[in-house]
Amino acid sequence: MKKRKSIIVKLTAALVFIVCIFSIVASPMSIAYKAQASSKPTDSKVQSYEERIAQLKKDQKAYEQQIKEAKASAASYQKQKEYLDKQIAAISEEIQLSNDLIIEYNNALIEKENEIANKQTEYDTRMQNFKARLRTSYEEGSMGYLTMLFSSKSLSGFLTSIERMTNMLNYDKRMMKELNDQKADLTESKDALEKIKADQQAVLASLQESEKTLEEKLAEVQKLYDDTKKNQQEREKMLAEAKKAEEKATKELDAYLEELAKKHSGVYEGGAFSWPLPKSENKITSKYGWRTYNIWGTTVTDYHRGIDISCVTGTPVYAAASGKVEISGWNDSYGYYVLINHGSGYTTLYAHNSQLLVKQGQWVDRGTMISKSGSTGNSSGPHLHLEISLNGKLLNPLEGGILSHPALKYYC
Ligand SMILES: [Zn+2]
């Protein structure tokens, strides 16, 4: 039981140790990340340029996406067009065939009609002959028979003559019936042809209707294709314009930054550096120069490169004068620190911060909040370590009126 308890104590201690290590390792990283995320240019003109450039980049991305989509749509419409074109070509061929068939049927009909007409003429001629023969035999009447009778050498000869006459008339009648039958057959086959032709005409009409529908569909797709292409071209134009505008804005920003750099570089504006903390933070815990102090139970003597001003973690730290941020980063001694070049050989350094609010290369005005104080690096408690140098040589910030400051309290 006792053994088990001691294991639990050991495990808890190990866990606490891991959590502590993790927080020590993790917290500077999270601070660094925050510093990066919150570092924004302080110059409003630079900011407005950067916002404009960002917007133009965003626009370009959107246009590129729209162009991509338009191209995909156009390709799809193109495929539809090709498909419809093929269908129309096929149906046109069918229409051509159907037309040819109808022409053939027409020719066949004309032929049939001619045959019928010929048959009719033949029939009519035979009818006329028959009628003429009948008329002759009746008109001549008994005279004819009498003549035939008298001219016949015998009764049997007379009867033979009558029989021959009758046979001729019967033959005429038979022939006419035959002709009539043939004509009826022809008419029947003509009617059948007419029906086939009518069916083919119906097929043709339906094909033409389909062709019309397909052509309408094609016109619709063509319009969609044209609209999409037009849209694509417009977006391409807008993309080109946005690119141009971005290039222009970038050039203008570069020129403005150069102008700013010229304005700020090499010229220290003069006058005292301003107090880098709120005026209420006025407690000096370590002066500039040689000092002996106790840290973590050890007595240390060193040359203090600046002054320490006590302040709670998170207190805003302000640029003591305008200048260019030369360094905004980490150093094992300084922790998170900022070094500003003010021109004319002057630099100021702000150490042990908990959070950095500016980035390297950025221009800051006097009084710009550059960081938040803390106790990072070689520090025994939250304070701001301030250094001022001229041409690389450290200056005592509290001598010669170099730093304007509130009434100070000394704890050292
Ligand atoms: Zn210090």
23 has a pLDDT exceeding 50: no
- Domain 272-412, CATH: 2.70.70.10
Report the alpha-carbon angle 225-228-229, nearest 5. Answer: 85
Of the candidate ranges 35-39, 111-115, 178-182, 249-253, the one whose mean pLDDT is the lowest: 35-39
Higher pLDDT, 162 or 62: 62
| Of 142, 140, 174, nearest in space to 158 by CA | 142
What is the DSSP annotation of 367-380?
T-EEEE-B--SS-S
Cα 319 from Cα 274, distance rounded (Å): 8
pLDDT of residue 241: 97
Q: Which of 14-23, 170-179, 343-352 has the highest mean pLDDT?
A: 343-352
Cα 387 from Cα 370, distance rounded (Å): 15
pLDDT of residue 131: 82
Higher pLDDT, 10 or 259: 259
Question: 190 near 116, Cβ under 8 Å?
Answer: yes
pLDDT of residue 314: 97
- 254 alpha carbon – ligand 1 mean position (Å): 38
- 356 alpha carbon – ligand 1 mean position (Å): 18
- 396 alpha carbon – ligand 1 mean position (Å): 12
**pLDDT range class, residue 144, cuts 50, 70, 90:** low
- 292 alpha carbon – ligand 1 mean position (Å): 12
What contacts 24+ positions apart, CB below 8 Å, involve 255-264?
256/45, 256/46, 256/49, 257/46, 260/43, 260/46, 260/363, 261/324, 261/363, 264/322, 264/323, 264/324, 264/343, 264/363
Cα 397 from Cα 390, distance rounded (Å): 11
pLDDT of residue 38: 28
**pLDDT range class, residue 141, cuts 50, 70, 90:** low
Higher pLDDT, 105 or 140: 105
- Domain 62-236, CATH: 1.10.287
pLDDT of residue 67: 97
| Of 113, 114, 122, nearest in space to 180 by CA | 122
Of the candidate ranges 59-63, 236-240, 261-265, the one whose mean pLDDT is the lowest: 261-265
pLDDT tens digits, one per residue of 118-140? 988 988 888 888 788 777 766 66
Higher pLDDT, 386 or 343: 386
58 has a pLDDT exceeding 80: yes
80 has a pLDDT exceeding 70: yes
Domain regions of the chain by residue span: 62-236, 272-412
Of the candidate ranges 30-44, 70-84, 215-229, 396-410, the one whose mean pLDDT is the lowest: 30-44
- 307 alpha carbon – ligand 1 mean position (Å): 5
- 334 alpha carbon – ligand 1 mean position (Å): 9
Q: Which of 17-31, 34-48, 135-149, 232-246 has the highest mean pLDDT?
A: 232-246
For tokens 């070049």, the residue is 341
pLDDT of residue 143: 58
- 386 alpha carbon – ligand 1 mean position (Å): 7
Q: Which of 36-40, 41-45, 76-80, 258-262 has the highest mean pLDDT?
A: 76-80
- Could you tell me the end-to-end alpha-carbon distance of the chain, in angstroms, rounded to an integer? 54
Q: Which of 147-151, 177-181, 185-189, 282-286 has the highest mean pLDDT?
A: 282-286
